[in-house]
Structure 1
Amino acid sequence: MYHSRTAEAEVAEELTAVRPDLLPRYTAELPGARAAVLTRLWRAFAHEPLPWVTGRIRGAHSLALRLADGRTLYGPHADPYATGAYVTAVRLDQERHDDPARLMTDLAVPHAAGFAGELGHSVASLALSRADADHPKEWPDSDWEWEQRVVDGHPFHPNCRSRPGFSVADQLAYGPEHRPVVTLGTVAVRDAECLVSGDWPEELRDGHDLWLPVHPWQAAHVLERSSTPWRPAHPLLSLRTLALPGGPHVKTALSARLTSSVRDISTYSVEAAATLSSFAADLATRTDGLLHITRTLGAVTARSPDLAALLRESPEVYAGPGERVVPVAALPATGLADSAAWLAAFARLALTAGLRLLDLGVALEAHGQNLLVILAADHTPVRLVYRDLADIRISPARLTRHGITPPALTGRLITDDVTTLRRKLFGSLVAGALAGTAGSGRALGAALETAVRDLPGTADLTALREGPVPAKALTLMRLSPGHAGDIWSTLPNPRMSSD
């Protein structure tokens, strides 16, 4: 069972040993971190199809949740698109809760104990991230510096900063928000034992050996083998992908649980990499220059998800003179979205590109980590960059309808199911990237109202305008360990909501 403050105390103890100077700031950040995680959790309770929530009663000033065991949970109205920490406490019958982990423990629903532990680590890690946030006011010049500005992690997931298995020293050494330089290593594998897709650079070849880049945490904790130091790199938002100074991005097989799931690089992803990259590059030309898709330069697996790597173009190659490339997740740090006009212009750009590709037959996983915006010198959003093709969905029927030859691919990337395609794009772009940038349902609704006026009328646009917005049920997924794949919820359409 989770004991209140356990994870917080563990991090404090480790900080005392490795960074005692951060301890006072860490302690001061804990209340805010609890509120941030509790807000995300309350959003889930209010909107996800949790089987143990049997009724939701919306009063004039609060929300009451009837639970299957007869208890009632009370809290504020929950804006599903808000990113601020507006929930400082909720009440379970007569007991006040300001600690999300303790609340989850006391709810005692199936699988609550494990999830409570994750919530505790999310709070502690978030407080640590905030304690170490020390960014200059000047705008960064490089893409990896922008990624360091995202201190709070996922804007809607209660596990926004949960990194099980990472010590405080590990987080300080590898988390992008702590601004480290990470020395990537390499492991030699015989070429006959590897599957290669695309071009593997000569720098990473030696006779009949291929050198696979590995993350130092992966080498120590999963591979349990030594690696040869290779090159310094800067960790990006996904933690396992790092930017080589002046060079490509390296996606490593860092198989640690981050927010929802354990990430790795599957053999399927490597097999598909070159074909998928070529197909996506050709498709991007049909967006009239609105969207670039970073090319996969090469991918290798030693036929193991724990020992694989992928080299990908830096998004910066698509920036012109005076332009900056900013991950959408970092836009709140710029203050640009405080302008309703700017937010509407960005929403129009993102929806135009996303809906055009969806109509053609490709649904992007366009959340704030995968989607980047190119800003002109005056900060106008002018183009988009999309990276990481591992979770897109491709519709052969739609492609064929437009005279496009579908790629020679099979498996989970391929589907003609309309619901699946729309969930992929709308759930990531509207309920993810745009919502996280807008910061509230009211701001998002106003931006969408303006953005969709001049968009081409398609069935997909009609579904977005008139229906609820699909979103992953992130908390229910964590409480359903036996369920494979995503679980979906729906959120009220912000264009019809008065919240």
Structure 2
Amino acid sequence: MHRPPTAEAEVADELAAVRPGLVQRYAAALPGARAAVLSRLWRGLSHEPLPWVTGRAPARDGLVLRLSDGRRLHGPHPDPYATGAYVTAVRLDGTEYDDPARLMADLAVPHAAAFAAELGHSVASLALSRAGQPDHPQEWPGRDWEWEQRVVDGHPFHPACRSRPGFSVAEQLAYGPEHGPVVELGLVPVPAGECLVAGAWPEALRAAGRVVIPVHPWQAAHVLKRSCEERLAAHPLMALRTLALPDGPHVKTALSARLTSSVRDISLGSVAASAVLSDFGQAVAARTDGLLHVTRTLGAAAAGSPDLAAVLRESPQRYAAAGERVVPVAALATTGLPRTPGWTAGFARLALTVGLRLLELGVALEAHGQNLLVVLSPSGEPRRLVYRDLADIRVSPSRLARHGIPVPGLPGRMVTDDERTLRRKLFGSLVAGALAGTAGSGAALREALGTAVRDLPGTPGLAALRDDPLPAKALTLMRLSPGRAGDLWAELPNPLR
């Protein structure tokens, strides 16, 4: 039976045509990329509430999953907080699999074929990302976007960590931040009367009664299907659709492609609420005794559609004093700093102090490794936090009112008094995400959290963190549930118990 070419082979063929010098490095990176994606997939299979997994039983050398059709899937002892590629193979009824895409295809559960294709692209794109890396990166970059471009492997726990459907190899090399490109944003002038504008849209992006909206070149080519005569050079950040402009601000562009899990557009509602949300972020940050800064939204604009919109934000680097560096949490592993238990515990104490304080006030941050940044002293010690992109926070009106904080007019999806929803948002992103990714393993996370929580004030949020299972987004289940909207959740073993 003829099998269609794999994503790995397709990328190899395209690479041979557009960048032949990387072909050998790409081939050498494939085994490690398969193990990295398989390790993320095994986390999901081991811990998420998948309806076709009917039982999980420890074995002497790992874990056995019982499937609803009677088959058995056997793999190593799962560590839900490990970031390394520790799973090199699993066995399905005695057949060994080192390729996550082939494993998912042969599991043949509902929606497995589409997810298997994503996993194949994730492996191939991850190998491509690793192939282009310099052998000896600079230890301490001087510009904010350089930190972002050193995050090569993407999401530390998502099996589709590098899946970029709709992007050719040439486009990945041209736009992927890990490849270090300069991206030429298109500039699209729109009559001001046809634009929704919030905040202070800069004069440099206005012309003769028109609002000039920066457009990502992928969006211009594939969605707007237009060419742009005027262009603006920018450096892509780890979010890919957000870029650093030459004069400092960051611009989030509309990019109607699914990256990792979903299509993340810039809705008209988010543009309309951007100024109010930015002011609210400053008011909340003022309650943290200087431990947290929230980047301001300078302006937002949309030309009647999420397909042509942009948001301008200040750079997090403006919150660094002399000698300090502002580093995205996802990039901490690239700093060269030793991951000592004391350092990780100090960072965890700082992050939990801020996160739990805001939770009590009524604000749950989505503080994952991309949104959360840490201000490091010249010697590398964590001093303060910076948070950017408030679009996915959750806000409790009753808690805010209890603390005398005015409740702003925010989109309805952000507003909830449900305690479980608030805790899931914070703990799932900060603890199961940013802190776990920084620690790198369950043992290291347990040690860091055990030290960090000793000095924290007792709150209901801290009690839940100590005693309850740790919530985390069920990333595998979500990709296998295309008909269900919103987040789905798993409960991970509490590292403090």
Tell whether the 8 Å contact from 2:187 to 2:232 is kept in structure 1 after alignment.
no
Cα shift at 1:365: 0.6
Note if contact 1:41-1:100 (Cα within 8 Å) is conserved in structure 2: yes
Map 1:189-200; keep pairs closer than 5 Å: 189-200=190-201
State the distance in 1 between where 2:78 and 2:199 align. 47
Match of 1:373 in 2: 374
| Residue aligning to 2:461 | 460
Aligned to 1:264: 265
Query: Does the 8 Å contact 2:293/2:385 carry over to 1?
Result: yes
Residue type of the partner of 2:371? N
The answer (yes or no) to whether the contact 1:72–1:92 under 8 Å persists in 2 is yes
Name the structure 2 match of 1:105: 105
Tell me which moved more, 40-49 or 239-248: 239-248
| Residue correspondences, number | 496
Query: Residues 97 and 4 (structure 1 numbering): CA distance in 2 closer, same or farther, change over 3 Å?
Result: farther
Q: Deviations over 1:448-495 (max 9, x none)?
A: 011111111100110001111100000100000000100011101111
In the alignment, the residues of structure 1 paired with residue 392 and residue 138 of structure 2 have an alpha-carbon distance, to the nearest angstrom, of 35
Q: Name the aligned partner's letter for residue 483 of structure 2.
A: G
Question: What one-letter code is carried by the residue in structure 2 that aligns with 1:38?
Answer: L
Is residue 2:294 matched to residue 1:293? Answer: yes
Counterpart AA for 2:185 = L
SS of structure 2 residue aligned to 1:483: coil
The equivalent residue for 1:131 is: 131
How far apart are residue 302 of structure 1 and its match?
1.1
Asked if 2 retains the 8 angstrom alpha-carbon contact of 1:5 and 1:120, the reply is: no
State yes or no: 1:32 paired with 2:32.
yes
The amino acid across from 2:142 in the alignment is D
What amino acid is aligned across from residue 231 of structure 1 in structure 2?
Answer: L
Whether 2:280 is the aligned partner of 1:283: answer no
Tell me the distance in 2 between the aligned counterparts of 1:49 and 1:240.
32
The answer to whether the Cα contact below 8 Å between 2:148 and 2:331 also exists between their aligned partners in 1 is yes
Q: Would you say the 8 A contact 2:376–2:383 is kept in 1?
A: yes
2:240 paired residue number: 239
TM-score (norm 1): 0.98
TM-score normalised to the size of structure 2? 0.98
Shift of 1:3: 5.0
Q: Tell me, yes or no, if structure 1 residue 44 matches structure 2 residue 44.
A: yes
Contact 1:2/1:117, CA 8 A, preserved across alignment: no
Note if 1:251 corresponds to 2:252: yes
Pair 1:137–1:4, CA change in 2 (3 A): farther
Of the structure 1 ranges 429-438 and 132-141, higher mean CA displacement relative to structure 2 is found in 132-141
Tell whether 2:359 aligns with 1:358: yes
Verify the 8 A CA contact 1:473 1:489 in the aligned structure 2. Answer: yes
* Unmatched runs of 5 consecutive residues or more in structure 2: none
Q: Give the Cα–Cα distance (whole angstroms) in 2 for the partners of residues 195 and 410 of structure 1.
A: 16
Task: Decide whether the 8 Å contact of 2:270 with 2:411 is kept in 1.
Answer: no
Cα offset, 1:208, TM superposition: 2.2
Q: Partner letter of residue 467 of structure 1?
A: D
- The alpha-carbon deviation at position 229 of structure 1 amounts to 2.8
Post-superposition offset of 1:191 = 1.3
SS of residue paired to 1:292: strand
- Say if 2:474 and 2:490, in contact at 8 Å, map to a contact too: yes
SS state at 2:234 partner: strand
Deviation at 1:327, TM superposition (A): 0.4
For residues 406-441 of structure 1, the C-alpha deviation after alignment (integer angstroms, 9 at most, x for no partner) is: 112241011111111000000000000000000000
CA distance in 1, matches of 2:137, 2:189: 40
Work out the percentage of aligned pairs sharing the same amino acid.
Answer: 73
Secondary structure of 1:404's counterpart equals: coil
Ranges in structure 1 where 5+ consecutive residues have no aligned partner: none
Equivalent residue, structure 1, for 2:82:
82
CA distance in 1, matches of 2:264, 2:150: 23
Structure 1 residue 231 displacement after superposition? 1.7
Q: Is the 8 A contact 2:44 2:475 kept in 1?
A: yes
